[in-house]
Structure formats: C-alpha cells, structure tokens
Structure 1
Amino acid sequence: MQKIALPERPDLREKAEAQGFTFADMHGEPYWDESSCYQFTLGEIEERIEDPATELHAMCLEAVEHVLQSEELLDRLAIPPAHRDYIAGSWREKAPSLYGRFDLAHDGEGPAKLLEYNADTPTSLYESAAFQWQWLEDQIAAGVLRPDDDQFNGIHEAIVERFRALFAPETDLHFTAVSGNPEDYATVEGLGWAARKAGLGAHYTDLEKIAISAEGQFLDDEDRVIGILFKLYPWEDLLRDDYAAGLAGAQCQMIEPPWKAILSNKGILPVLWEMFEGHPNLLPAFFEADIAAALTGEGAPAPAVASRFEAARETLARGHVRKPVFSREGASISIIENGRITEAASDDSYGAHPRIVQAYQPLPVFDGFRPVIGAWIVGDACAGIGIREDRSRITQDLSRFKPHFIRD
C-alpha cells in the first residue's frame, strides 16, 4: 500500500456535474480528491482485505445468532424490547441482506483491523462503485495509468447479481431516504440503478412522504403499496420513531432486514471479541460499564470479562477509543492514551448513549492524512473497496474520498 500523486482529469468537475455528483466538494474543500491515490498489489488486496472482510462478515452472522439468545446482550445493544420479536423473526425467516461496509485500519504491513461495521446504512456507495471506476478507465485512456492496472471494484455488478438472486424479474422495489441530502440520494439512486439493471422496478420516494394505509401498509407518495423497501434510515432511529409500532404488521420486506439492527450497533465489537478473542483482524473491545473502574485503577473488571480484560490491560492502557453504541461520522468518539483524552470528536450528539471501549489502532499517515479502508460486502462476500482519509485521527464528515488501483 502506497500513496502516489497523479494529475487530476482536466474535465473532472464537468464529469461530476454531468453525473449529478453534486457533493464532490463539501464544506469548502474537495470531498472527491484525485490529486493522489492509493496503490495496492493484488496479493495485498486478496489476502489482507478481501478474504478477511468476507471472513469477518461470516463471524458477524454468528454473532447475530449469539446476541439473539441473550436478553442481556440485547439490553446492552439498546435494542428496544417491543421490537425484539420482530428482529428475531426476521433472522429466523432468513430475511436477506443486500450490502454493508467494514471500516478497516490497514497500513500495508500486518493484518487489517476492524474498526466498525456499517451494516445497515453505509454511504459512499456511488463514489466507490461508479465514480472511482470511471476514474480508472479515464486515467488508463489518458496514459496516466498502465493498461493492465486494475481496481478492486466489482461492487455495482455484485449488487445487480444480488438483486437478481433475491427477486423475480419485474418485482417492484421502493427506495427511500431523508430528503435534501445529496449523498444519501446518490446512494439510493445507485441502488435503484442496479435494481433496474437486474430487471426490477425501482421507485423512489422521500422518507417523510411515506404514509400508512387504513390496513397498516406503507404507501409511497403516489399512494402505491410498498411491498419491498430499501430505507437509508438507520434501524436505531426507525425502531424509535412513530412508524415503529406499525413495522411488524406492514407486510413490507425491509432492506436492510431488521436483524441488521444488531450488526450496525457498535456493541457488536465487544461481542465479536468475546466470541473470537485473539482473531488477527479484531481489536480488543469491551462494554465500557464492564471495565471503566478497572481502566482507572479504581476497581475490578466485571467477573465475566476479567480474564479477557487482563489479557488486554496493557494494550488498553496505552490507548483505547470510547465509542457510543450508536454514532455517525465519528460523532461522540474519543481517543484516550495513557489515561488522558488526546483527541475527541467536535460533534457530541451521540454522547448520551451507552459506550464501548476498543483498543486504539493508529491509522497510517500519508502526507498528513489518515486513510480508512471501506470494504464493501454484497450478500456474503467482499466485492470492492473505497478509501476515505482525514487529517484527524477520528474519521469525520470532513474526510476525503480517494481512488485506488492495483498494480503488480
């Protein structure tokens, strides 16, 4: 893994505008930044990112089963009791998943480390699946890259095939997101494009325009019954809003399925460490309530985690990260090193939620930026990557998207 400088395409802004990539610049800075890119070898991609991400997803599925057997863990993940049967039912019925994104720390040397699993509403899909592939083709055509350079990016094709596998031809799907957010709309439009490519019907409606019929079914903004709904709206919010009471009786297949409420929760990180302690792609992680006193030397860890905590004590003392079980764009996350907070997110909007503690894994630094690898899971396999980098050690909403290529 290395970062190299390359010339931007001369028509970059025109292409972005023509394709509706309206958020290529955000907050007065470039979001899509192709003034440099990341280079990998094929072996590095396959052995250190693709295969581990696929394995991590399989481990996560085992963790869902484990959590659903424990009311205590459901409590710790703050899963609302009123909807636990609904979630468990979707798991028993094998309600299918479409996609997700692992965020991995990788420096080109040792094993990639799991930072979190964006299993429910991951964005950056359009730029990962489409715009960076066009970048590769354009740079090869311009002679900037070699004809045999490649990219780990079968995301769009994998999503098309996943739709084909899940639904009969001409099945109608609905897609929704909160209005007024270009990045969210790009994600659902990209998925709708893939659904149409798979021979399905794809209809978009703003989330706030969805209604409920007298029979309890969801209706779109043209009063059509919604039978299958992809919602770019997190389960932790949906299970707590006014629509939650009608979910179980709405006769609507949800994508992502309700059981993803377990995997999109950062509480899954200590569950994974409990189940697969020492796995090379995992970082030690605990529920904060179990080890808070032990971390400060003011008490002992909870008996159930004592042995795991002792094994990780020195690692956690050097550095750990506090994360709320619910959080977006790095909000309410802080880094603690040698007993003091050395970095904290400026946005603390998720600070009231229960927290987990995860061992701190420094991100590599390239030209003052720290990249995070987003490994995309489609169905049950890793299908490609996207890279975001930030000046901060906590990847937040000012991060930049960087393209990548493979060269051997």
Structure 2
Amino acid sequence: MRRVRLPARPDWMEKAEAVGFTYHTEGLPPELRNPNGSYWFEDAAWEFTADEIDVLEEAAEELHRLCLSAVSRVVHDDELMARFAIPEPFRPWIRRSWERDDPYLIGRMDLAFAPGAPGLDAPKLIEYNADTPTTTIETAVIQWRWLQDMKPEMDQFNSLHEKIIERFEWISGFMSRGEIMYFSGMLEEEEEARHIMYYMDLAEQAGIKTRNASITSIGWDSARKRFTDLNDEPIWRWFKLYPWEWLMEEDFGAHLLEDKLRAIEPPWKAILSNKNLLPLLWDTFPDHPNLLPSFWTQDPRLGQSYVKKPVFAREGANVRIIRDGRVLEETAGLYGDGAYIWQALADIPEFDGVRPILGAWLVGDKAAGMIVRETDRRIVKGGDRVAPHWFAPRPEDQDGVA
C-alpha cells in the first residue's frame, strides 16, 4: 500500500461533470473545500497489492456479519434500545422491521489499514454508515473512469455500480407490479441531489419505476393514513438519504409507526449508523482482530490514548483525539451536547504527508468496492479529499474485475 504522485488528467473536470459529478469543487461550500481547492483529487493515487485487497474484502464482509449479529442483540433488548437512544414508541417498529427481514441496499465502513504499522496489519473498523452513505458516485463512476484513462492495464476494488443494480433487481421482487419507488433527500444540496439522481438511474436500470421528492415535500394524509407527494400520490416504497434519527424527531415521525411505508434503508439500519454500535461490538466480540477497543465510558483499559466521539455526529464533528493524556486534535460542531463513546486510537501513519481512511462498501452482504479519503489531519471532515486507487491483478484474474 503506497501513495503515488501522478499528473491529473487535464480534462478531468469536464469528464466528471459529464457523468453528474458536479460538486467536485464548486458544489462544496468554502469552509469544506480542501487546501488544494477540489474535493476530488487525482494528483496522487493509491496503489495496493492484490493480497491487500483480499484482506480488505474479507474484513469488510466479516465486520458486516458481526454488525448484523449486533443488530439482533439490540432489537431484542429494551435496555440496549434505550442505550442506542431509540425513542420508546419506535422500538417495536424497528424490531418488526428486523424480524420480517426488510430488504436493505448499501453501507460504507470507514477502515484504518496500514500494513506494517503497529496494530494495523488487519483493517480496523472506525465506524459504519449503513443508513445514509454517500461518495457512491466518486467510488463507482469517477475513480473507475480514472482507471480506464490512466491505468487501463490495472484493476480496482470496485464493482459497486453493478452490484447496486443487481441488488435493486432483488429488491424489486418485494414490490408489486407497477409500484413506484420514491427517492428523497435534501434536493437543494447539490451533492445529495446528484446522489439521488444516480440511485434513481441504477434502480431504473434494474426495472424499478422511480420518482423523486424532496424530503420537505412529503406529507401525511390523515384520512387515508398514508404518506403522499405534493400531488397527493401515495408513497409506499421509499429510498431516502435522510437519517432515521432525524426522521423519528420530525413532526410526521409518529406516522412512521403506521408501518405501511417500506424504506431503503429499513428502520433497523438506524442501529448500524449509531456509534453505540462500536462499544457493543467490542463487548460482544472482544479482541476481534478487525475491531478497536471501544467503550461507553472512559474505560481505564484505553490508557492515555483514545478518541472521544459523539454517538450521532457526522462529518467528523465534535471529535477529540487524546494521545498520552493530551489533546492531539479536536473539532467543533453541533453535536457536543449528546452522548459520547470512547474508542482506542488507530494511529494511522502518514503516507507522503497524508493519512488515508479507506471507505469499504457493502451491497447487501457482499463487499463491493473502496474509496480512499485522505487528510493531512487525523480527524476526517467533510470536504477532505477523495482519491482513486488501483492494484495489479493476478495473472489468473486478468479478465476480471475485483
């Protein structure tokens, strides 16, 4: 695993925008732009070995299996439901979603991995966004097209596009003939709107009829007890890029308990995107090689070096890194008043002046690809660069894609 400096394609912006990646620079607010201006970065790329890719793929699927086991434990334990800050009225609803095997689509794990560095020969789970993950376009489309232009003889851990279509085809089996799937998010935000468009296109390739609706345009028909769009059309099947913990606090959140709406991601995914998952995993699977020691309190077993992070924070907000008892790095944000968890510090070394976090994708239960996010800090924040990767295929895999 190494970072390799390369010349950027002179026309990369035009090529990116042609496939809907319009937020590479201008789509980001100034406070989120990285020092080099663009969010997508191809002045360098990451080279892996085929063996390292195998390790990452196996770790992602193993961690996902552990996470599903943790969900089963939470939904059948009211004390853990309370620990995960699931409002009491919503607990049976989440339990029903799990017990009837509501179909799910996708998730992205943030992994620390640096072969040869102390404690990081095996990938370590930093957190799991299994409810509203983005960087899908960057992973599935942009870095793949970069590979075709720059390293066509190489391979990439990246079957995300194809696997999402296959998964949507599978999900369509749960839908009635002619049923429409609505796609919602904060459509006034460029990145989110583009992701909604991309997911709609993949669903349509899988034979699903789609329609978009801003999250703010969805209403509740109290007479007919159903969610509707602005044209009063019913919404029964719903893809959302809006967190469950926010939806449960919305005015219409109580109507979710009618349990007529089927969502992607399903309600039980609220457990996987809650950082209480991390100490629960460690409690259930102590000393697992792909887990970092994590606790609900500042446990003395962490020693003097650890990370304190909010249960519901996003984009690296309100995180504090302590090394040898001193604050090494911290961020501000809007989540400082909530609950926290404590996690062992994954001391990722610098590669060419930056530290990588590997975003490993799961579609269904299968590993489906990776994107590399790099930062010159220790805490990854929104707007930090994403960069492409490659690996040299084994001779027997020359005609395949990872």
**2:329 equivalent in structure 1:** 343
Cα distance, 1:127 vs structure 2 = 0.6
What displacement does 1:59 show?
0.7
CA contact (8 A) 2:76 2:95 kept: no
Where does structure 1 differ by over 4 angstroms across 4 or more consecutive aligned residues?
A: none
2:166 is aligned with 1:161: yes
1:318 is displaced (CA, Å) by: 3.7
Matches for 1:145-156 after TM superposition, within 5 Å: 145=151, 147-156=152-161
State the match for 1:129 in structure 2. 140
The separation in 1 between residues aligned to 2:75 and 2:260, in whole angstroms, is 23
Any conservation in 1 of the 2:93–2:259 contact (CA below 8 Å)? no
Distance in 1 (CA, whole Å) between partners of 2:192 and 2:247 is 16
Question: Over residues 33-75 of structure 1, what are the superposed CA-to-partner deviations in whole Å (9 max), with x where a residue is unaligned?
Answer: 01110011111101x2101100110111110111122222111
75, 80, 93: which is aligned to 2:82? 75
Instruction: Give the AA of the match of 1:152.
Output: F
Distance 1:224 1:250, change over 3 A: farther
2:400 corresponds in structure 1 to none
Q: 2:268 aligns with which of 259, 267, 285?
A: 259
Q: How far apart, CA to CA, are the structure 1 residues paired with 2:115 and 2:211?
A: 42
Please, which moves more after superposition, 36-45 or 246-255? 246-255
RMSD between aligned residues: 1.4
Gaps of at least 5 residues in structure 2 are 394-402
3-state DSSP class of the match of 1:164? helix
Q: Aligned with 1:243: secondary structure?
A: helix
What's the offset of the Cα at 1:108? 2.9
Q: What SS does the corresponding residue of 1:44 show, helix, strand or coil?
A: helix
2:312 to 300, 306, 326: 326
Distance 1:339 1:43 in 2: 37
| Alignment check: 8 A CA contact 1:217 1:250 kept | no
The alignment of Structure 1 onto Structure 2 pairs a total of residues equal to 377
What is the distance in 2 between the residues matched to 1:100 and 1:9?
Answer: 30
Secondary structure in structure 1 of the residue aligned to 2:107:
strand
- Alpha-carbon deviations, 1:306-328, whole Å to 9, x = none? xxxxxxx2xx2141111111010
Aligned with 2:197: secondary structure?
helix
Give the deviation of 1:16 after TM superposition.
2.3
Q: Give the partner amino acid of 2:358.
A: I
State how far apart, in whole Å, the 1-side matches of 2:165 and 2:17 are: 25
- Counterpart pick for 2:206 among 198, 223, 234: 198
- Tell which deviates more after alignment, 245-254 or 58-67: 245-254
Q: In structure 2, what residue type is equivalent to 1:206?
A: S
Counterpart in the other structure of 2:113 = 106
For 1:177, the equivalent position in structure 2 comes to 185
Instruction: Work out the percentage of aligned pairs sharing the same amino acid.
Output: 44
d(CA) in 2 for partners of 1:373 and 1:216?
Answer: 43
